[in-house]
Structures are given as structure tokens and as C-alpha cells.
Amino acid sequence: MNLKELSSLKLSESNLGSSTGSNWFGSGSKIDSYSPTDDKLIGSVLSTTREEYEKVIQEAERAKAIWRDIPAPKRGEIVRQLGNKLRAEKETLGKLVSYEMGKSYQEGLGEVQEMIDICDFAVGLSRQLYGLTMHSERPGHRMYEQYHPLGIVGIITAFNFPVAVWSWNAALALVCGDVIVWKPSEKTPLCAIACQNIIAEILKENNLPEGISSLVIGDAEVGKWIAEDERIPLVSATGSTRMGKQVAATVAARLGRSLLELGGNNAIIVTPSADLKMTVIGAVFGAVGTAGQRCTSTRRLIIHESIYDKVKESLVEAYKQIKIGDPLDSKNHMGPLIDKAAVQMYLDALKKIKEQGGNILLEGKVLEGEGYESGCYVTPVIAEVENHYDIVQQETFAPILYLIKYSGDVNNAIALQNDVKQGLSSAIMTTNLREAELFLSHNGSDCGIANVNIGTSGAEIGGAFGGEKETGGGRESGSDAWKVYMRRQTNTINYTTNLPLAQGIQFNL
């Protein structure tokens, strides 16, 4: 694949640096984007300098005054147009996601569909930014609360979902009246430029300021500029827990807000009554989908001792059927890891599993030969471990599935599941109503997402997405996640000729 095949996304060597007229800027150091699929150079991008960053923020400041005065349903119309553009470009953008990031083409298409879905959700939301009315204790007074735009929202995204996570934030922020400044992963800059080109075209067609949606490209230093910038009241950051702690501390130091979507160490509990076929499908997709590079990937399978051997044998047989190769080939289930650094992390994890006493059932290796020239293709791993192993307590962004045995009732399995620092996604496989309800109760899963008889990955945009503990506590996408992109205001109106004070306080002059 080359840039000519992506012509509708307006990517070419001539517009991957300097000002493009699509409100992203770059004249700094060069960033080469190589595909992990075949190690070929897709394109080179010039990063954003500090001076260009200042220009972006200044334009965003000017644009926010215009954008917030546009009625919310009219803002929703712009997001509706974005969704329609994404429908038209779904196949092309999906291919770019697959080729630049390495996930399967089907997953690339699914990621663009998430973008379309959140646009649809946000369009409806633009007519439902509801406040509340309440009764005042003072006669002749009315109280209510309403929501106002925050201003500029900084969005920092990771490589594994190079377009969808931006859209989760962008669609909601835009209908809420905010303008957006996006810092994507430097590992997937072309996906970001393609999205920026799409939304910039819509803004131009509607005679709206380019500064409503901006893009800054670079390494962690650019993300630091956003985190430190007092002109940006909200920073939404997706990535590792280590990165999130740095962003949170920096933003908190200036009393800004942060929305954090960080690491996951997700488990599926498999009880004696579980449907084995459903369990295997959910576990295998959760563990090898996106080559284990989802924050919701299934890392741990906590299996009751009475069915442990049966589940283990079924998983080993299922893994033997996994096809690994070019993610644009629909026959393949799994593509490459993002880069050589990720491969080394995978190899280091395998070494630690053995050192800490684990038993690797399916050995992992880096694939070589025809079709695997990039050096980023690895085989998925199944290992028998104990939950307390240091390596199990960490999130490894790779297709490594840990099998953990439990005995007794489901409370013991829930305790194992919760005994990690992360709290993103969780699931239980059971046909026992009591076990299912206990898992969903306050005594059950401590994660932000808890599923019954489905896997840990594949969240729909209608529900709020996010997790607890070292996952950061943020919520994006559906439900009432929109509220984080706005500031709440309580209003009291006195329509009498008297001025009674609250709590019955007397203050007579």
C-alpha cells in the first residue's frame, strides 16, 4: 500500500509538512511512519514546533468564541456531516488504520464504524444537553442548573486505536461547544492527518474557523505542552498508566481537569456452569484481537479447578487454528505488533514468566521468513501462572494469555480478579444467575466494565467507557460522559421584591 491508494484521504508527500490549510502545522523534526506489516515507509511527517503549537492554541482561542455561540443542535449538524464523511471513507480509512497500526482489516473497519457510531450518538445528544430544575427553600425563587462549554479540550491518544479514541472525545466535545486540539501517537501520524483532513474539509464547507479542530504532532514533549497549558481546561489522555500519572500530576498542579483512560489487566472468570464454546470464542478474540494491544484485551483467564483441564485443552486447540500474517488479508486473524520495541517487551515478558515459575503451554516466538520481514509478527502465548506473579500484575501489550486456577466458590475467583492495580474491563462466563448477579454487585467486579457471558473487549459506544484504580477513573463515549466536557453552573432567580436569605439567616439593615 502507498499514499496514492489513499488519495481520497488527501495524504501526499506534499502536505505532510508545514501548514497544510487543514489547521495542523509541522516544520520540526521528521517522523517516519513505517508499517509493521511489511516494514515499508508509508510517509514522513514533520513534527510541530513550539512556535507552531502557540499558533494552534491562539487559533483555537479565537475559534472557541465563535463555536460556543452556535446553538448545540447546529453544532450537532457539523458532527452529523463528519459521520457521513466517515461513512464514505470507511474502507479507505479502515485500510490505513490496518496498515499503519497493524490490526486486522476487519478491526480497522470496526474502528471506523465506532467513529460513525459516536457521531450518531453525539448528534442526538446535541438536543439533550439537559440540566435540572429544583425547588428553592425561599419563596418566589427558582433554581436550576445548566452546562456550558469548557473552551479548549486537549486530546492525547495512543497508537492502538489511532482514530476511534479521538472521535469519542471529538464528537462529544464539539457538540458540547468545545474546540479540540489533538496530539496523536507519533507511531500513527498518518491516521491522524487523514482524520484532520476530513474534519477540516467539513469546517471549510460550512464557513467555520479551522481552529475548531486542530492537530499537533510530535513525541511526549508535545503532550507535555498540552498538559502544562493553562488555556486548556480539560486534557483527555489515553495510554499507559505511567504516562497517565505524569499527565494527571501536571494538569492537577494547575488545577485543570484530566480524563484518563489508562492500563488494563482484564480477566474472564470461568465458572463450572460456563458455556465452553462461548468461553473459548470470547477468550481467544479478547487475547489475540489487535495482537493483544487493546486496553481491554483479555490478559487473565480465571478458571474453576473442576473444568480447568478441559478449558485449557480447548484453548490450546483453538490457538492452533489462529492464522498470523498481513492484516489486510481477511484470512488472517492476527497481524503484527506495532514495532520492534513492542516485540522486545513481549520477549522480556516470556522470560519473566519462566523466571517467576510459570509454565508456558504454547511457546512464543518471533516469526521469520516470507511475509514476516518486518520482524514484528509474533505467536500468541498461553501460560499457566499464579495471579501474584509480578509479570501477571503488569499490563503487557502483547498476545499473552495467563491461565489461573481457582477453587471453592465464585467469591474466590472475584478476589483474584480484583487483586491487580488496574480496573478497566472484566467478564464472567456462567449460566448461574446468582453468580452473575454477585459479579455485578458492589461485592463483585471492581472494574468500570463488567460483562456476563461476553468477553472483555468490544465495548459499544452507548455505554460509558473507562475504569477504576490505575485505569484512571475516566469515562468516555456514551451515557452521561458528555458532562466532563462542560462546566456545571447552578442558577437561582428571585422574582419577588424581597431578599430572603438561605438557611433562614436574618441580616437586617
Active site residues: 261
User: Largest alpha-carbon pair distance within the chain?
Assistant: 90
As a whole number of angstroms, the distance between CA 278 and CA 150 comes to: 44
- The torsion angles phi and psi of 303, rounded to 5 degrees, stand at -115, 135
Strands (E), 282-429: 298-304, 359-362, 381-384, 400-406, 422-423, 425-429
Who contacts 470 (Cβ-Cβ below 8 Å, separation ≥6)? 241, 262, 263, 421, 422, 423
- What count of other Cβ atoms lies within 10 Å of the Cβ of residue 136? 15
Strands (E), 136-233: 141-149, 152-156, 179-183, 213-216
Cα 241-245-248 angle, rounded to 5 deg: 130
> Which three-class secondary structure state does DSSP give residue 259?
strand
As a whole number of angstroms, the distance between CA 154 and CA 464 comes to: 19
Pairing verdict, β 179-183 and 152-156:
parallel
Three-state SS annotation for 334-366: ECCCCCHHHHHHHHHHHHHHHHCCCEEEECCCE
By residue count, the chain amounts to 509
> How far is CA 283 from its chain centroid?
20
Q: Where are the alpha helices (DSSP H) in 89-212?
A: 90-101, 105-125, 164-175, 189-205
Query: With contact defined as beta carbons under 8 Å apart, do 381 and 324 qualify?
Result: no
As a whole number of angstroms, the distance between CA 298 and CA 300 comes to: 6
As a whole number of angstroms, the distance between CA 209 and CA 179 comes to: 10
Query: With contact defined as beta carbons under 8 Å apart, do 436 and 430 qualify?
Result: yes
